[in-house]
Amino acid sequence: MPVIRSSEAVTHEIHGARFVSYATPLTGSKELCAWRGEIPPGTEAPAHTVNREEIFHLLIGELLITLDGRTDRITAGDTVIINPGATLAVTNPTDHTAISWVTTSIGLEARLADGTRLSPPWAN
């Protein structure tokens, strides 16, 4: 049974946020990836379209989530289901870091508005 200790998690930073990766093929996962997201105050992550379903659960704080043009304020304990092909943007309008837990299937790719494609290492 693979156990990933918090001290073994790998941290990645992009667009002002931190992604602390726990479950990936490198750590023994066969189908899913999971990470903790740390979204600092004032962060406005660029809109991106995903090719895999994501389950985004907010552990601490509050965020503005824009999903396919609709913006909702979410607070700790709320979960957002992001379907494949959906366009997502995340904003932290508060003065506190928000913490999330995200799961998806291996092979997640995000496409930015300018056409740039990202294959984040915490989801592959």
Q: Which pLDDT value is given to residue 1?
A: 60
Going residue by residue through the chain, which has 124 residues, state the pLDDT in tens, using 9 for 90 and above: 689 999 999 999 998 899 999 999 999 999 999 999 999 999 999 999 999 999 999 999 999 999 999 999 999 999 999 999 999 999 999 999 999 999 999 999 999 999 999 999 888 8
CA 83, 104, 92, 16 torsion-angle sign: negative
pLDDT for the residue numbered 122: 87
Q: What is the pLDDT of residue 124?
A: 85
Helix and strand tally (H, E) in the chain? 0, 12
pLDDT recorded at residue 6: 93
Strand order in the sheet with 70-75: 70-75, 62-67, 87-91, 48-50, 110-112, 117-118
Contact between 94 and 61 (Cβ < 8 Å): yes
Q: Give the pLDDT confidence score for residue 3 in this predicted structure.
A: 92
Domains in the chain, start-ordered, CATH in brackets?
10-123 (2.60.120.10)
CA 25 to chain centre: 17
Q: Which amino acid makes up residue 44?
A: E
pLDDT of residue 39: 98
pLDDT at 2: 82
pLDDT for 15: 87
